């Protein structure tokens, strides 16, 4: 659509006659303006990623960045971005023709349960074998950065992707899980009623997170859309501030005492998790697979249909006999308990908890993982978390660490322009976006009812 | 004729604003009752209160002799009150079939004979059953909204402005179908701005004005009442 508009904009306005200067025409030209914006953007990026100035040479940052051959790279990138924007329509058409057979094959193959399950099995075997060949650094990343966040993304996907509730304080439940584990294992300044093995503490921590989810959800789930987002945002902040300031309970900014590693001693089964990441990875893998299977079953059940209906139009869902409050609360509690569970694993893996691990940016990050992967899609949540959590580690040492978010931000913007539905969207979500492009409905999943207004 | 649904002195408030100031309405089994009134008279509020989406501040609602005000919406549906809400509110990203299945949510899954009945009433929906609800035309969406409400096998069907935004030919068609649904045994409470059409198929009618019932009579009498004609049919000056 925009290509048509743009090509019209290239044509000089006929009614203008000779009255309009070339400069004015250029200024009204959409593509020219985009080019200028791209070049300015490239220069800004060159300055930001360039050397820093100092007190003695305050302009060194500018001169070092702009009068240096590397600026050419940025300009080329800027022009390429412009070309991509201008040619977006044709480009995405071309991409579609290239990928059409692939996506057709995908639907045909994945439609066949035999193929699908063998694919899952192959993936699982890969996930079991491959990490053994990694260095211990990457094994650590696989647990702390990827595994735990995959779990968090899967949980948030239920809340945001399935039920359409925008939860901006999701990290709070993760914190509650982690600090509960620390409490029951005696790592907090206040001593627990009775000491628990960290493995047993999972039950209590998950319960605590779930109860917190219900306590927060019961009064606030009557709110819709933006209001819910604000309340959950506040809740997330409250929990972080408590973790920071309740020194006598949480240890404050100085962190908790050492949380012991997990250990099992049950029915003859004895195992101690230690500093080594790999055993933690396998534990996570087991739980991730179990939770994925469970959520997939839920998605295709009566509960999943209720969630879809609520996301699409809450009033209509209610009028169809769906107990909207119950199902929203259920989604909230399931997300919270998954998050709390991830918190326990995180606590026993890293052993010392600091409130900074539970900041607002983490809530936003997890939401980004879900959106990047494809909202409402379980494989999408896994993929999104894996890719976006792996990338910063991969870039470590290759770029100035201070610029990390610049690159990630650029990636997200490009992603939102060219593939807003995420890497692996759910089928319904892909349809939603296609319809929104065609102007039939609104695209946002997390808004209130839309169906009434759209025609 | 036995009274199926009864509102007695129902008052509803949005904060400090009184939307219904004591509405008393009786609907007999097998009737089509039209609820008429201008914008903001409280027609939609009345329907939403019956179906449990709003709760009265004062007054009582009885359905089949049982008090239902205060029940949550999903329980009211379970009792046999189907509601086709204002503005259609179909699920835009679900297929026509999925929309209809959502209507049968109280039963777990849609029954074949219910689907057959809806498709017999609205053959267009059968043609479009795999299409997304949001891609339907306005008239088809209205059919889907009514069809979805029928899937819960209601004793009373509440219809909120079924003719809104439709072409005249389609309006006629929708009203014919409403009459047919009624002849099949479903009681209908019809909220309309299109007074002539509504009264032409209704047995009785009520006129709402700023939250109060100001007139109630047989539909045929209302249709010739000079006050109704002046206020709602645009005839002469009041």
> To the nearest whole angstrom, how far is the Cα of B104 from the nearest Cα of chain A?
7
Q: Do residue B89 and residue A323 have CB atoms under 8 angstroms apart?
A: no
Residue A431 with chain B: CB contacts under 8 Å: 93, 132
Taking all residues of chain B, what is their mean pLDDT, rounded to a whole number?
91
Q: Which of residues 204-223 of B touch A (CB under 8 A)?
A: none
Per-residue pLDDT band at A89 (split at 50, 70, 90): low
Separation of alpha carbons A398 and A409, rounded Å? 17
Mutate to test the interface with A, among B53, B134, B157 (most CBs of A within 10 A): B134
| CA B78 to the chain's CA centroid | 17
Region B64-77: what's the mean pLDDT? 93
Q: Please tell me if residue A449 touches chain B, with a CB cutoff of 8 Å.
A: yes
Residue B101 with chain A: CB contacts under 8 Å: 305
Separation of alpha carbons B143 and B177, rounded Å? 9
Tokens standing for residue A432: 């939603």
Q: Alpha carbon of A315 to those of A223, A323, B19, B88: distances in Å?
A: 13, 11, 19, 11
Q: Does residue B139 lie in a domain region?
A: no
Q: Where are the domains of chain A?
A: 20-93, 118-437
Q: Alpha carbon of A97 to those of A102, A416, A429: distances in Å?
A: 10, 20, 21
Query: In this predicted structure, what is the pLDDT of residue A4?
Result: 45
> To the nearest whole angstrom, how far is the Cα of B14 from the nearest Cα of chain A?
16
CATH number (domain holding residue B82): 3.40.50.300
Does A443 have pLDDT greater than 50? no
Residue A449 with chain B: CB contacts under 8 Å: 89
Mutate to test the interface with B, among A301, A306, A320, A444 (most CBs of B within 10 A): A320
Query: In this predicted structure, what is the pLDDT of residue B48?
Result: 94
Separation of alpha carbons A316 and B134, rounded Å? 14
Q: Give B99-148 as a 3 state SS string.
A: HHHHHCHHHCCCCHHHHHHHHHHCHHHHHCCCCEHHHCCHHHHHHHHHHH
pLDDT digits (tens, 9 = 90+) for A229-281: 999 999 999 999 999 999 888 888 888 888 888 877 777 777 778 778 889 99
Tokens standing for residue A263: 């250990």
Q: Please tell me if residue B26 touches chain A, with a CB cutoff of 8 Å.
A: no
Q: How many CB pairs under 8 A join A and B?
A: 96
Cβ contact B187:B80 at 8 Å: no
| Residue bearing the bigger pLDDT, B60 or A446 | B60
Taking all residues of chain A, what is their mean pLDDT, rounded to a whole number?
83
Q: Do residue B135 and residue A323 have CB atoms under 8 angstroms apart?
A: no
Per-residue pLDDT band at A371 (split at 50, 70, 90): very high
> To the nearest whole angstrom, how far is the Cα of B238 from the nearest Cα of chain A?
34
Per-residue pLDDT band at A65 (split at 50, 70, 90): confident
| Residue bearing the bigger pLDDT, A327 or A418 | A327
Question: Helices (H) and strands (E) in chain B — how many of each?
Answer: 10, 10
Question: Helices (H) and strands (E) in chain A — how many of each?
Answer: 21, 2
Least confident range of A411-425, B63-77, B126-140, B203-217: A411-425
Compute the 3-state secondary structure of chain B and give helix, strand, coil in percent, each to the nearest 5.
40, 30, 30
Q: Do residue A321 and residue B78 have CB atoms under 8 angstroms apart?
A: yes
pLDDT digits (tens, 9 = 90+) for A123-145: 899 999 999 888 989 999 999 89
Q: Do residue A309 and residue B102 have CB atoms under 8 angstroms apart?
A: yes
Tell me phi and psi for residue A271, to 5 degrees. -155, 140
Cβ contact A375:A429 at 8 Å: yes
Say what the ipTM of the complex is.
Answer: 0.89
Q: Which residue among B53, B74, B134 places its CB closest to the CB of A435?
A: B134
Residue A441 with chain B: CB contacts under 8 Å: 92-93, 134
Region B135-140: what's the mean pLDDT? 91
Q: What angle do CA A333, A334, A339 make, to 5 degrees?
A: 95
Region A77-97: what's the mean pLDDT? 78
Region A352-380: what's the mean pLDDT? 92
Q: What is the DSSP string of A305-373?
A: HHHHHHHH-HHHHHHTT--HHHHHHHHHHHHHHHHHHHHHHHHHHH-S--GGGG-HHHHHHHHHHHHHH
B71: left (phi over 0), alpha (psi -120 to 50) or beta: beta
Q: Please tell me if residue B49 touches chain A, with a CB cutoff of 8 Å.
A: no
Separation of alpha carbons A38 and B53, rounded Å? 51
Tokens standing for residue A243: 């973790």
Region A340-360: what's the mean pLDDT? 92
pLDDT digits (tens, 9 = 90+) for A8-17: 444 444 444 4
Query: In this predicted structure, what is the pLDDT of residue B183?
Result: 95
| H or E element, residue B19 | strand B17-28
Per-residue pLDDT band at A390 (split at 50, 70, 90): very high
Q: Do residue B74 and residue A318 have CB atoms under 8 angstroms apart?
A: yes
Residue B7 pairs with which residues in a beta bridge? B25, B61
Tokens standing for residue A236: 């997330």
Q: Which residue among A319, A449, A455 places its CB closest to the CB of B83?
A: A319
Q: Do residue A454 and residue B92 have CB atoms under 8 angstroms apart?
A: yes
CATH (one of 1.20.58, 3.90.550, 3.30.1360, 1.10.3470) for A118-437: 1.10.3470
Residue A161 with chain B: CB contacts under 8 Å: none
Query: In this predicted structure, what is the pLDDT of residue B235?
Result: 59
pLDDT digits (tens, 9 = 90+) for A193-211: 888 888 889 999 999 999 9
Residue B91 with chain A: CB contacts under 8 Å: 308-309, 312-313, 316, 451
Query: In this predicted structure, what is the pLDDT of residue A437?
Result: 60
Q: Please tell me if residue B108 touches chain A, with a CB cutoff of 8 Å.
A: yes
Q: Please tell me if residue A450 touches chain B, with a CB cutoff of 8 Å.
A: yes
Q: Please tell me if residue B164 touches chain A, with a CB cutoff of 8 Å.
A: no
Separation of alpha carbons B125 and B139, rounded Å? 11
| Domain range enclosing B183 | 3-87+156-232
Q: Which residue among A322, A435, A455 places its CB closest to the CB of B74?
A: A322
Q: Scanning every residue of chain A, which has its alpha carbon at the shortest distance from the alpha carbon of B133?
A: A451
Cβ contact A151:A171 at 8 Å: no
Q: Please tell me if residue B87 touches chain A, with a CB cutoff of 8 Å.
A: yes
Does A455 have pLDDT greater than 60? no
Count of domains observed in chain B: 1
Q: Please tell me if residue B89 touches chain A, with a CB cutoff of 8 Å.
A: yes
pLDDT digits (tens, 9 = 90+) for A430-440: 666 666 666 55
Q: Scanning every residue of chain A, which has its alpha carbon at the shortest distance from the alpha carbon of B81?
A: A319
Q: Please tell me if residue A286 touches chain B, with a CB cutoff of 8 Å.
A: no
Residue B94 with chain A: CB contacts under 8 Å: 308-309, 312
> To the nearest whole angstrom, how far is the Cα of B213 from the nearest Cα of chain A?
25
Q: Alpha carbon of B46 to those of A238, A401, B37: distances in Å?
A: 41, 61, 12
């Amino acid at each position: 659509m925009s290509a048509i508009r743009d090509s019209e904009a290239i044509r000089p306005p006929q009614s203008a006659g000779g009255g309009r200067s070339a400069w004015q025409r250029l200024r009204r030209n959409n593509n020219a303006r985009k080019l200028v914006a791209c070049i300015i953007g490239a220069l800004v990026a060159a300055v930001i990623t360039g050397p820093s100035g100092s007190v003695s040479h305050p302009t060194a940052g500018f001169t070092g960045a702009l009068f240096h051959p590397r600026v050419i790279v940025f300009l080329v990138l800027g022009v390429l971005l412009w070309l991509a924007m201008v040619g977006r329509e044709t480009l995405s058409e071309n991409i579609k023709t290239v990928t059409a057979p692939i996506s057709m094959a995908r639907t045909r193959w994945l439609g066949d349960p035999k193929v699908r399950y063998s694919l899952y099995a192959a993936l699982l075997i890969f996930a079991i074998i491959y990490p053994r060949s990694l260095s211990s650094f990457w094994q650590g990343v696989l647990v702390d950065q990827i595994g735990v966040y995959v779990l968090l993304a899967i949980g948030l996907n239920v809340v945001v992707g399935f039920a359409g509730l925008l939860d901006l304080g999701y990290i709070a439940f993760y914190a509650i899980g982690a600090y509960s584990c620390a409490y029951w294992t005696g790592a907090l300044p206040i001593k627990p009623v009775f000491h628990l093995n960290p493995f047993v503490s999972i039950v209590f921590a998950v319960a605590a997170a779930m109860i917190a989810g219900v306590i927060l959800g019961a009064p606030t789930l009557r709110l819709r859309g933006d209001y819910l987002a604000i309340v959950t945002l506040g809740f997330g902040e409250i929990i972080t501030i408590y973790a920071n300031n309740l020194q006598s309970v949480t240890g404050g900014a100085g962190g908790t005492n050492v949380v012991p590693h997990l250990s099992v001693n049950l029915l003859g089964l004895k195992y101690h998790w230690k500093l080594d990441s790999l055993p933690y990875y396998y534990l996570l893998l087991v739980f991730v697979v179990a939770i994925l299977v469970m959520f997939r079953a839920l998605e295709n059940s009566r509960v999943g249909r209720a969630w879809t209906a609520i996301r699409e139009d809450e009033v209509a869902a209610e009028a169809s006999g769906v107990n909207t409050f119950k199902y929203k609360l259920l989604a909230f509690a399931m997300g919270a308990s998954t998050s709390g569970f991830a918190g326990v694993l995180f606590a026993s893996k890293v052993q010392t908890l600091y409130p900074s691990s539970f900041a607002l940016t983490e809530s936003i990050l997890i939401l980004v993982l879900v959106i990047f992967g494809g909202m409402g899609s379980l494989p999408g949540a896994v993929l999104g978390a894996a890719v976006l959590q792996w990338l910063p580690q991969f870039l470590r040492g290759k770029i100035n660490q201070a610029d990390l978010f610049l690159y990630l931000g650029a990636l997200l913007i490009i992603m939102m322009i060219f593939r807003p539905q995420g890497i692996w969207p759910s089928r319904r979500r892909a349809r939603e976006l296609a319809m929104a492009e065609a102007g039939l409905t609104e695209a946002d999943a997390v808004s209130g009812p839309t169906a009434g207004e759209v025609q | 004729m036995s009274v199926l649904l009864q509102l007695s002195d129902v008052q509803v408030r949005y904060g400090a604003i009184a939307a219904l100031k004591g509405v008393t309405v009786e609907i007999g089994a097998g009737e089509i009752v039209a609820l008429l009134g201008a914008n903001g008279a409280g027609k939609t509020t009345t329907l939403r209160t019956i179906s449990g989406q709003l709760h009265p501040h004062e007054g009582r609602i009885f359905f089949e002799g049982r008090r239902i005000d205060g029940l949550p919406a999903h329980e009211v549906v379970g009792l046999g009150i189907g509601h086709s809400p204002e503005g259609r509110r179909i699920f835009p990203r679900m297929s026509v079939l999925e929309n209809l299945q959502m209507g049968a949510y109280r039963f777990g899954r849609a029954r074949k004979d219910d689907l057959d009945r809806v498709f017999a009433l609205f053959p267009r929906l059968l043609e479009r059953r795999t299409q997304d609800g949001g891609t339907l035309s306005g008239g088809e969406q209205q059919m889907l909204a009514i069809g979805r409400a029928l899937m819960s096998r209601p004793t009373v069907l509440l219809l909120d402005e079924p003719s809104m935004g439709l072409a005249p030919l389609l309006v006629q068609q929708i009203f014919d179908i409403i009459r047919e649904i009624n002849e099949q045994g479903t009681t209908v409470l019809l909220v309309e701005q299109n007074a002539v059409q509504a009264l032409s198929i209704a047995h009785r009618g009520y006129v709402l004005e700023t939250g109060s019932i100001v007139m109630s009579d047989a539909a045929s009498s209302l249709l010739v009442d000079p006050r109704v004609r002046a206020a709602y049919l645009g005839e002469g000056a009041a």
